[in-house]
Amino acid sequence: MTSPDTSQTKVLLAEDEESFIDALVVGLTREGFEVTVARDGSEALKLFDAVEPDLILLDLMLPKVSGIDVCRSIRARSSVPIIMVTAKGTEIDTVVGLEVGADDYVAKPYRLRELVARMRAVLRRTPHNQPGGDEEQAGSIGAAHPVLESGGIQIDPDRHLVFVRGEEVHLRRKEFDLLNLLMENAGRVLTRDVLIDRIWGSDYYGDTKTLDVHIKRLRSHVEVDPSHPLLITTVRGVGYRFDAPRS
């Protein structure tokens, strides 16, 4: 099969800023998406039923009904992928968005390329969009995972190798997965729930201290001074974030 997975993928864009709407409609259409625009929250809910989109791009700050309430309302009846669009520096809103069921988020201003990459990633993770069923497996098994490098840490997911400031370190499986997930989302806070869900699975009911223990071990491997972590930072009451140093 050679057809791109975005052909005829219907996107509901809930956004009230005309400058964003214009750019996104042009950009996403060019990427092969079929875009429907809702300019406020109540229109988004109406169009959700009318259009039955494959993915929703949901601005958090919408007139009439907020993005959070739109997300909560849609999540109550559908597992359609939702990407929240937040303003810069609204970390708490972002966390609320993830807690009410958004699959991912991008912060404004963002690059179209980044947005499309996130859209494709959530679509890949969603069986909803895989009529064949086999494609998802083929994608996740066959696809090469890029080597990530940041803050002196290099992680190679396919070869299961980690180098810290040039020295190879040996991480346990879960520590490795945790580091990889944090680095894939460098600069973005991941909630405890999201981390536990992605690393241990949604059916994990063990002690939530497990996460902290793994973070602590991971820090002992990657931080220059594990008692003053600079790479894997705690976002109080929320979760953890891999901080890519600005250079």
Of 15 and 103, CB closest to Ca ion: 15
How many binding residues for Ca ion (CB under 5 A)?
A: 3
- What lies within 8 Å, CB to CB, of 68 at 6+ separation is 60, 93, 96, 97, 100
Q: How far is the CB of 218 from Ca ion (least distance, A)?
A: 37
Other Cβ atoms within 10 Å of 77 Cβ, number? 9
Q: How far is the CB of 189 from Ca ion (least distance, A)?
A: 21
- With H, G, I as helix, E, B as strand and everything else as coil, classify residue 186: coil
Q: How far is the CB of 62 from Ca ion (least distance, A)?
A: 6
Residue of this chain nearest to Ca ion (CB atom): 61
Q: How far is the CB of 131 from Ca ion (least distance, A)?
A: 33
Of 16 and 193, CB closest to Ca ion: 16
Contacts (CB under 5 A) with Ca ion, residues 96-155: none
Task: Give the whole-angstrom CA distance, residue 205 versus residue 46.
Answer: 37
Of 59 and 103, CB closest to Ca ion: 59
Of 11 and 148, CB closest to Ca ion: 11
Task: Give the whole-angstrom CA distance, residue 214 versus residue 30.
Answer: 43
Of 88 and 246, CB closest to Ca ion: 88
Q: How far is the CB of 98 from Ca ion (least distance, A)?
A: 18
Residue 4 has what DSSP assignment?
Answer: -
Contacts (CB under 5 A) with Ca ion, residues 159-178: none
Q: How far is the CB of 39 from Ca ion (least distance, A)?
A: 10
Greatest CA span in the chain, whole angstroms? 55
First CA to last CA distance, the chain: 42
Task: Give the whole-angstrom CA distance, residue 185 versus residue 180.
Answer: 9
Phi (first) and psi of residue 109, to 5 degrees: -85, 145
Of 107 and 232, CB closest to Ca ion: 107
Residue 197 contacts Ca ion per CB under 5 A:
no
Task: Give the whole-angstrom CA distance, residue 91 versus residue 97.
Answer: 10
Contacts 24+ apart (CB under 8 A), 229-236: 230/151, 231/151, 231/153, 232/182, 235/91, 235/189
Of 12 and 196, CB closest to Ca ion: 12
Site string for Ca ion, 46-85 (x = CB under 5 A): -------------x-x------------------------
Rule CB under 5 A: choose which of 5, 16, 223, 243 binds Ca ion.
Answer: 16
Q: How far is the CB of 59 from Ca ion (least distance, A)?
A: 4
Kindly list the residues in this chain that would bind Ca ion in the complex (CB under 5 A). 16, 59, 61
